[in-house]
């Protein structure tokens, strides 16, 4: 640790050069926003001096390898100030040429309005929704501490540290006003994430003006109460003061009782703009040509737009230093490998995100064992059974729950509870659903663990924006949502999910699973673990559900929707998910006794089903057959599968407080309602005319070619609760 600090501190420039280096950030931000006629120049201008000190003198990174495992992480939580990030990445030598800065906020550029991971080299997380970058950073710092505890070694008084880096955050007033900041910073203090260093850009300005009318928190005392190390009243435009604060933060971070650090920097928003600095006018709008010229004069910046003087550019370049830092780490890592070859191999595997080879080879046997369990079981319990089976094959699991472990059943046999200065692979996040979800995003972004955690499905509302961000960033994050419907029972409508599953399904990139039994649940877990391009949500029942599947259905389940039960000469299709699948099976049996042949399709994951070929979808759900869907959720979602003329047995109202069986009966979520719906549709097909009601000749020709006899139905059917 000391050697790293010494090496980086040697890069301190002269005061004049430091000022010019900071001004390079200011002017690149000003010019880019002015060219785009859109953006936020105020924050980059106000934080430029802080950025110079951190990035030029302290940050451990390698522009030639943005994914070096032991790099420091930097998060711009106030992501609207994105030009600060882009200027830093360009100046220090990342693959972000000036041509991209000139395309700021333009289509398909690498300089989007807010930083996006996977789009711009060197960006660690996608920020924009205020507070979430800070929460991601808490997840990153937590991961660093966990990995260090798991992999670093001490032998004979010699430290063998392959995980030893900081997480730095820039944030503003807006991040602190968001409630998520309280959730995550409280937890960070409790866990003593001492290598988390946060810079608070205290400029007193937001979009609406001076924040004193709506934000008067005593922020230093707030963070002291969280258990943070607070360095207050730092002049954010005094490089020496900022440097001293960073060194103090790093020095206390290595103490046994070290704490996360908040550095409170007093700054002037839009610093350098002679007429707009210190006002909200510079927060989210271009300065205008006249003020740009005045700013150039005020700063003594003579370079043309998007040009950086050679001396300043040379001062910023971090390529050689980055290569040296990574080379030093690689030397230490190879020495570590000599002593601990198995641990070194495991660390590399973890950081690449690959699963153990044994996972794939042992998976069929595990699924067979789980599928063989004959007893009726709640899918939340089936989920825990799957975790018990999988955990030995997925040592990178990091689970948790928002104070509901005993209900969500996210713990597994042999899991270790993580806590302050205590390594573990399962965490009690407390009642912090939003913070938990965003922290999981940070864990995934850092690499080394596969995070999952649970809460009741209805409380996914609290987590929703972080779930959306995980989908946007394509993160391997797994949400366990239990008590997924009116099957919750007596807790009543506040806790009963109605609209949640349909609304989660329409988040692009999120795979939403609602399994019907133990095997479907296990397959859902396997798919979520294997998936590397996005998050998954498992929506699980409180109540016991009968077994519906056999192990030979596992591959079909993976396709999201499949034929669960079939017969010859089918006249209609029944589609079901989760706890209503057994009702579909009961309805099929009743209809068979009446001479009406039906197919039951289980669709545990509509998102995956929608990614199947059109041919497969047609094979499972032929357009020509009338279709009824049943799910204890809002019915509108199922229109995409049943059409306007199909039927949906669902709930278009909030629930009630009563035992679950009474609620299913009260709301008509029953096999009998499905039977009635199928009868009605089959009768309509039998007795309807051969032409489309209200259609023109071209519609008729098209429909006749596709043999869509059900298209003749003129009125939709929606089976919803009786009043």
SS3 258: coil
φ/ψ of residue 262, rounded to 5: -110, 120
How many whole angstroms separate alpha carbon 195 and alpha carbon 250? 7
How many whole angstroms separate alpha carbon 448 and alpha carbon 261? 24
Taking the mean position of all CA atoms in its chain, how far away is CA 571?
A: 43
How many whole angstroms separate alpha carbon 149 and alpha carbon 339? 17
Q: Which residues, in sequence order, are CB contacts of 363 under 8 Å at separation 6+?
A: 393, 526
SS3 642: helix
φ/ψ of residue 399, rounded to 5: -100, 180
For residues 250 and 207, is the Cβ–Cβ distance under 8 A? no
Give ∠ CA 627-630-632 in degrees, rounded to 5: 160
- Whole-number Cα distances in Å, 472 to 124, 128, 506, 598: 14, 12, 13, 39
For residues 236 and 44, is the Cβ–Cβ distance under 8 A? no
Measured over the CA atoms of residue 113, residue 114, residue 119 and residue 120, the dihedral's sign is positive
Q: Which of the residues are catalytic?
A: 433
How many Cβ atoms sit within 10 Å of the Cβ of residue 447? 18
How many whole angstroms separate alpha carbon 166 and alpha carbon 153? 19
CB neighbour class for 257 (10 Å; exposed up to 12, middle 13-18, buried from 19): exposed
The CA radius of gyration of the chain, in Å to the nearest whole number, is 29
* Residue carrying the six token digits 């008067």: 216
Q: Where are the beta strands (DSSP E) in 405-508?
A: 426-428, 450-456, 478-482
How many whole angstroms separate alpha carbon 629 and alpha carbon 581? 10
Q: What is the DSSP string of 491-535?
A: T-TTT--SSHHHHHHTSTT-EEE--SSHHHHHHHHHHHHH--SS-
């Amino acid at each position: 640790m000391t050697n790293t600090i010494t090496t980086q501190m040697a890069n301190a420039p002269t005061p004049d050069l430091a000022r010019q280096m900071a001004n390079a950030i200011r002017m690149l931000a000003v010019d880019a926003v002015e060219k785009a006629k859109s953006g936020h120049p105020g924050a980059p201008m106000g934080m430029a001096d802080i950025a110079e000190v951190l990035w030029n003198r302290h940050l451990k990174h390698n522009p030639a390898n943005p994914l070096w495992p032991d790099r420091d992480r930097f998060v711009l939580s106030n992501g609207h100030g994105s030009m600060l990030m882009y200027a830093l990445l360009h100046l220090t030598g990342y693959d972000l040429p000036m041509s991209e800065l000139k395309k700021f906020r333009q289509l398909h550029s690498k300089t989007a309005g807010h930083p996006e991971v996977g789009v711009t080299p060197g960006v660690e997380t996608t920020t924009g929704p205020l507070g979430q970058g800070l929460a991601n950073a808490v997840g990153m710092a937590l991961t660093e501490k966990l990995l260090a505890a798991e992999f670093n070694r001490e032998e004979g008084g010699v430290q063998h540290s392959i995980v030893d880096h900081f997480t730095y955050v820039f944030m503003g007033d807006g991040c602190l006003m968001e409630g998520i900041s309280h959730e995550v910073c409280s937890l960070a203090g409790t866990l003593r994430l001492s290598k988390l260093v946060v810079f608070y850009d205290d400029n007193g300005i937001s979009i609406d003006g001076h924040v004193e009318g709506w934000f008067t928190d005593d922020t230093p005392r707030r963070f002291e109460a969280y258990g943070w190390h607070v360095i207050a009243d730092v002049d954010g435009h005094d490089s020496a003061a900022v440097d001293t604060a960073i060194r103090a933060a790093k020095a206390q971070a290595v103490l046994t009782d070290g704490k996360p650090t908040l550095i409170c920097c007093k700054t002037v928003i839009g610093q350098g703009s002679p007429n707009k600095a210190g006002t909200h006018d510079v927060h989210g709008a271009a300065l205008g040509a006249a003020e740009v010229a005045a700013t150039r004069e005020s700063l003594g910046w003579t370079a043309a737009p998007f040009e950086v003087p050679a001396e300043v550019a040379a001062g910023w370049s971090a390529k050689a230093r980055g290569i040296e830092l990574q080379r030093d780490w690689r030397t230490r890592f190879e020495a570590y490998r000599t002593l601990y070859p198995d641990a070194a191999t495991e660390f590399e595997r973890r950081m690449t995100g690959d699963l153990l080879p044994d996972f794939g080879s042992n998976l069929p046997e595990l699924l067979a064992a789980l599928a063989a369990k004959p007893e009726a079981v709640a899918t939340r319990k089936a989920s825990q059974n799957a975790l018990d089976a999988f955990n030995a094959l997925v040592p990178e699991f990091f689970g948790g729950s928002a104070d509901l472990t005993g209900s969500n059943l996210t713990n597994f046999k042999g899991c270790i509870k993580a806590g302050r200065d205590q390594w573990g692979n399962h965490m009690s996040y407390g009642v912090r659903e939003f913070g938990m979800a965003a922290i999981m995003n940070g864990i995934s972004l850092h690499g080394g663990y596969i995070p999952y955690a649970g809460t009741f499905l209805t409380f996914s509302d609290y987590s929703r924006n972080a779930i959306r961000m995980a989908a946007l960033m394509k993160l391997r994050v797994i949400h366990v949502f239990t008590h997924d419907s009116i099957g919750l029972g007596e807790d009543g409508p506040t806790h009963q999910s109605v609209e949640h599953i349909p609304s989660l399904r329409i988040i692009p990139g999120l795979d939403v699973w609602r399994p019907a039994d133990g095997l479907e649940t296990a397959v859902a877990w396997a798919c979520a673990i294997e998936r590397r391009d996005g998050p998954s949500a498992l929506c699980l029942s409180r109540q016991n559900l009968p077994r519906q599947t056999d192990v030979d259905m596992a591959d079909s389940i993976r396709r999201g929707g499949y034929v669960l039960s079939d017969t010859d000469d089918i006249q209609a299709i029944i589609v079901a998910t989760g706890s209503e699948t057994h009702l579909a099976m009961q309805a099929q049996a009743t209809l068979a006794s009446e001479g009406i042949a039906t197919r039951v399709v289980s669709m545990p994951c509509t998102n995956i089903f929608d990614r199947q070929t059109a041919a497969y979808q047609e094979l499972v759900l032929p357009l020509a057959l009338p279709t009824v869907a049943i799910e204890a959720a809002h019915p509108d979602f199922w229109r995409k599968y049943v059409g306007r003329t199909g039927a949906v047995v669902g709930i278009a109202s909030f629930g009630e407080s009563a035992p679950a069986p009474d609620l299913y009966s009260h709301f008509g979520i029953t096999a009998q309602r499905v039977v009635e719906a199928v009868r009605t549709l089959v009768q309509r097909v039998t007795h309807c005319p051969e032409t489309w009601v209200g259609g023109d000749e071209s519609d008729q020709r098209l429909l006749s070619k596709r043999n869509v006899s059900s298209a003749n139905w003129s009125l939709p059917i929606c089976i919803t609760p009786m009043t």
